[in-house]
A and B are shown apart, each in its own frame.
Chain A
Amino acid sequence: MVDQKIWQKLKRVIELYDEMLSTPHRTEIARELRDEDDLFLLLVYSDMLGIPNPAFYYTLELYPFIIERFHDWHLRMGMEHSPLDGIRCC
């Protein structure tokens, strides 16, 4: 019983230590993934932004899944207000 308690504590210490060191790395991975996502969103919205997109018909189907991320995306892209008329945003 005592052994198990010590083991649990040791496990927690190792987890904390790992978290201490991996926090900055996780941030960078998240940033990289977000950059990839941003590029993908640009491709999806490209036709509405005036860039011809041959896959527009298919990307249209994705709108319900990505629409909630639209506001954050246009803010990150440096546009204070929505650049698109077709999507209701700020």
Chain B
Amino acid sequence: MSGIWLALAGFLVFFLGYRFYSKFIAEKIYKLDPAYVTPAHKYKDGVDFVPTNKYVLWGHHFTSIAGAAPILGPAIAVYWGWLPALVWVVLGTVFAAGVHDSGTLFMSVRNKGQSVGTLANKLIGQRAKILFLFIILLLVLMVNAVFAWVIANLFISNPSAVLSVFIQIPLAIWIGYHVYKRSGSMLLPSLIVLIIMYGTAVIASYVEPLQIDLVRYFGGEGATTFIGLNATSAAFFTWIIILMVYVYFASTLPVWKLLQPRDYINSHQLVVGLVILYAGLFITSPEVTAPMTNPAATDTPWFPILFITIACGAISGFHGLVSSGTTSKQLNNERDVRFVGYLGAVGEGLLALIAIIAVVTFFSSTDAFTATYSSFGAASDGGLGVFVQGAAALATGLGIPAAVAPTIIAVIIVSFAATTLDSSVRLMRYIISELGVEYSLPTITKKHVATAIAVISSAALALIPQGPNGFGSGGYLLWPLFGTSNQLLAGISLLLLAIFLRRRGSSMLPALIPMVFLMFMTLYAMFVQVFTDWAPWATNTDWLLFTFGSIIFVFAIWIVFTAFSVISNERKNDKFKDVA
């Protein structure tokens, strides 16, 4: 069967979801009011609160939520075959992510553009806000450690991509100054930067001296280098230290100097990447060689682990932070909630969909797939690498030479991951400062102290010697908790939405059903992992995962109880109202 059919099936469900379900949600549940004065108009200040055209806002929202995570999860989850991953991505986007993203946007618009964290404080209480901060702190810590390894891994396996990625930094700073000092447009300079980057990638693919291959510099695989490390481990160590030093400076610079211009260039790359992959798919029409379901996948059950392996791409709590953080302050008309919020989630679903297709069409036969995806551990280790190869195979359909295509795909992914790393270290710094204010610890509220804590803790986690995928992959020790934490965050946001809808007199079921589903899956998956896989009484005890997993498990249980108590209180109040 051609991979095109998977894409068409996905498109069809996304279309039906937007055309009918989102319309139902917008009109019957949210009851969007075009006459409502949105915060963008009410508090218009030309900085945060700016009424923005819905197409522009959708693009801005989509590029903010899309990153490397919707690629990583699906690339691993195809271990159970393409069908479970496809169904979860498509239905998760339509019934959970679409409601979650548009719902958090709507809720924030109706609450002066406040963020989900502040709304948690308002609707549930102070403890909910602190819980929220801790979950996000754990999330960003994992992202920092894992993405540092992912970038180091791609640099080592694609040395021709390194120069292009590093060239982007000074050029992005130049664009930032160009716009700031001269108020110039970013379009042309950023396209020039893109051409320079891809041009460098093409040249570096053929000219070996331009390939920055640390393993070779350290004497090749097997050679022993400093502190007894072999060349590969030394390369990981060096790249991770370089990345952490870079990210320290990048995340303490004003946003407009580096992060924003990089984001701008990366947004082009997102569009270029999506166009290349989908056009490549329709031109080459590759065969799906991975099995529909993988009977050999017995070491880790798909139910319920699939639902925490694919978070971004099906539903992600992180989107609620973007919806309620910036997008809600720029919404021109309340009616645009449907277009911006729901279609933003669909955009992310499309990215996850092509990630699945790129992986399942890459292999020459089902046996080749089974050999690579021999265990869940092997899938976690090699999933992203397979995606790079699969995406490169699709890109060759557009006439891009086979020697160049993997380099360009690696440049795109590293660019995403590097910006995510910068943003998440910055976010971690803000949270550490906020916790410092909350617990009266003024020292850690300082910018450089908070950043140093963020960077050192992330580097320490990444460089734990027990990393499951080799030296530098310590972040993967906690990675099984990433999906869980992300889903928990989404669960809390859906819970807030359910309470909010109930208070408005609407049915809370569209928010409550995905919330219950998510919470059940998350708790079930956590229970299986924490108490049977990692616990002290299990065969492979893992104290680190057991400790962190137990903390998050308690958080999750607490949220479920809060949900029940808040909703039952609301019901009691209703009864009193009836009596009165």
Contacts and interface: CB of A to CB of B under 8 A. Distances in A.
Contact of B56 (A23, A34, A72): A23
A32 B411 CA distance: 30
B57 interface: yes
Given A24-B60, A24-B64, A28-B256, A18 B186 contact: yes
B53 A25 contact: no
Chain B: interface residue count, which band?
Answer: 20 to 34
Nearest to A34: B47
A33 B95 CA distance: 42
B187 A14 contact: yes
A4 interface: no
A19 B190 CA distance: 13
Interface stretch (B145-153, B259-267, B383-391, B459-467): B259-267
B179 A21 contact: no
Interface residues of A, number: 19
Nearest to B259: A28
Contacts of A32: 180, 254, 256
Interface in B230-284: 254-256, 260-261, 263-264, 267-268
User: Chain A CB within 10 Å — which of B47, B52, B261, B264 has the most?
Assistant: B47
Interface string A12-34: 00101111111111011111101
B328 interface: no
B59 A20 contact: yes
B186 A25 contact: yes
Contacts of A21: 59-60, 63, 186-187, 190, 263-264, 267-268
Contact of B256 (A16, A23, A29, A34): A29
Interface of A: 14, 16-25, 27-32, 34, 72
Top-7 shortest CB links A-B:
A20-B59, A28-B256, A25-B260, A18-B187, A30-B47, A19-B56, A28-B255
28 contacts: A14-B187, A17-B59, A17-B187, A20-B58, A20-B59, A20-B60, A20-B63, A21-B63, A21-B264, A21-B268, A22-B186, A22-B187, A23-B52, A24-B64, A25-B179, A25-B186, A25-B261, A25-B264, A27-B47, A27-B48, A27-B50, A28-B256, A28-B260, A29-B179, A30-B46, A30-B47, A31-B47, A34-B47
